[in-house]
Amino acid sequence: MDSILVTGNGPLNGSIPIAGAKNACLTLMPATLLSDEPLTLTNAPRLSDIRTMTTLLQSLGAEVTSMQGGKVLAMSSHDLNNHTADYDIVRKMRASILVLGPMLAREGHAIVSLPGGCAIGARPVDLHLKALEAMGAELDLRDGYVHAKAPAGGLKGGIVDFPFASVGATENALMAATLAKGTTVLKNAAREPEIVDLADCLRKMGAQIEGEGTSTITIQGVDRLHGATHPVVTDRIELGTYMLAPAIAGGSVELLGGRRDLLEAFCQKLEETGIEITQTDTGLVVSNTRGRVKAVNVTTEPFPGFPTDLQAQFMALMCTAEGTSDLHETIFENRFMHAPELTRMGAKIEVHGGTAKVTGVAKLRGAPVMATDLRASVSLILAGLAAEGETIVNRVYHLDRGYERVEEKLGNVGAKIERVKGQ
């Protein structure tokens, strides 16, 4: 099993290109199931999760061709010959549940295994299922699979009132509603940029959607969708992660393709610590000219708030900040598993329920640590940039699910980082 070796090497300078969004691409790919015409995605990230979704779609009979080194995905679902998303594939990634809505809407039936993914809380799929039931779907959970069937004549428009904003459930319901008969209204819908990106793609395919980016989305169902070509939106989580690299290690780095509007709340918190952020014609420049940053408190919230997917990385920054910070996690339980690993590096962290109190230290120490999930893995790499000596991050298969060529991107701006191949 591969590891990542990081040695503290001083300030970072240069530029890092930001890839297309993993979470957006994993949502856009199942949209091919809604049409028998080709859907082509450009600016696709080159990640193991994308390969897993490719395998899943191919198992259903879809054709998926990777071009230009993986940055273009050409897909076609003109001949679906299987309606069961098997456990052996689905268990690897939570986003697999997103084939349920499209397949049910177009084919009228689907059998999808309950998903797996990172161990950061239960994250049940009940909101996905309740949304589909509001459109008339008949659902039966047995033997670890969701058996879904649309009523005669297909799904019907309905009112879906989410008890809280769920990104995945909003995406599944949005895709299903595009082919439902009549009007569907999604209330308390998620507002993330990935939702807006999905709606934009579906509209190119002929869907009638209004209100994406707000808490109420209205979809007028159509009889069929056609093909389209769509660029995947910039990955705001990769963007925020690499913005933290110069903040932690010092220096000035431009994140090519970066947009502040994707991460306004995060940018404001980073500026409160003393970091300078400048929008340019080509991206965002992040500079740390003060050395140790100031400690600030953070509360994770749904978009447009501070992203839960940047909490672990921000904690790494707070480990060497001046003062004490409180990080409140409100989205997922069990999402402080990186804290004990950071403590091995000399960090002072106390976790009480959904709050982590971090008292900054002058310097972290390199140590062998273990990645527990996707975002935790990269937080340990960031901490290694600011540590004395060598940090070896084990179990980085999590990392490869969400970050393409992290050692190359950080190495190009001056980090001393390498991948150590496992036996």
CA distances from 360 to 25, 41, 89, 317 (A): 37, 43, 42, 9
Distance, CA of 327 to chain centre: 20
Instruction: Check if the beta carbon of residue 292 is closer than 8 Å to that of residue 317.
Output: no
Contact 42, 19 (CB under 8 A): no
Tokens coding 11: 């300030």
Q: Annotation-wise, does 127 bind a ligand? A: yes
Give the catalytic positions in this structure. 118
Task: Give which of 171, 245, 227, 204 is closest to 21, Cα–Cα.
Answer: 171
For residue 344, give every residue at least 6 positions away whose Cβ sits within 8 Å of its Cβ, in sequence order, or none: 367, 368, 369
User: Is 124 marked as binding a ligand?
Assistant: yes
The closest of 370, 417, 366 to 397, measured between CA atoms, is 370
Q: Tell me: is residue 36 an annotated ligand-binding position.
A: no
Question: Rounded to an integer, what distance in angstroms lies between the CA atom of residue 54 and that of residue 255?
Answer: 28
Residue bearing tokens 């503290």: 8
- Mapped onto helix, strand or coil, the DSSP state of residue 178 is coil
Nearest to 380 by CA among 403, 362, 357: 403
381 is in an annotated binding site: no
Annotated binding residue 11: no
- Polymer length of the chain: 423
Please indicate if the annotation marks 309 as binding a ligand: yes
Between the alpha carbon of residue 171 and those of residues 102, 115, 190, 260, 363, the distances in Å are: 10, 16, 9, 24, 42
Q: 353, exposed or middle or buried, with CB in 10 Å at 0-12, 13-18, 19+?
A: exposed
Is 94 known as a binding-site position?
yes
d(CA 43, CA 25): 9
- Secondary structure element (H or E) that encloses residue 52, with its range: helix 48-59
Q: Is 22 annotated as a binding residue?
A: yes
Is 167 flagged in the annotation as binding?
Answer: no
Could you tell me which residues are annotated as the binding site for UDP-N-acetyl-alpha-D-glucosamine? 94, 123-127, 309, 331
Could you tell me which residues are annotated as the binding site for phosphoenolpyruvate? 22-23
Could you tell me which residues are annotated as the binding site? 22-23, 94, 123-127, 309, 331
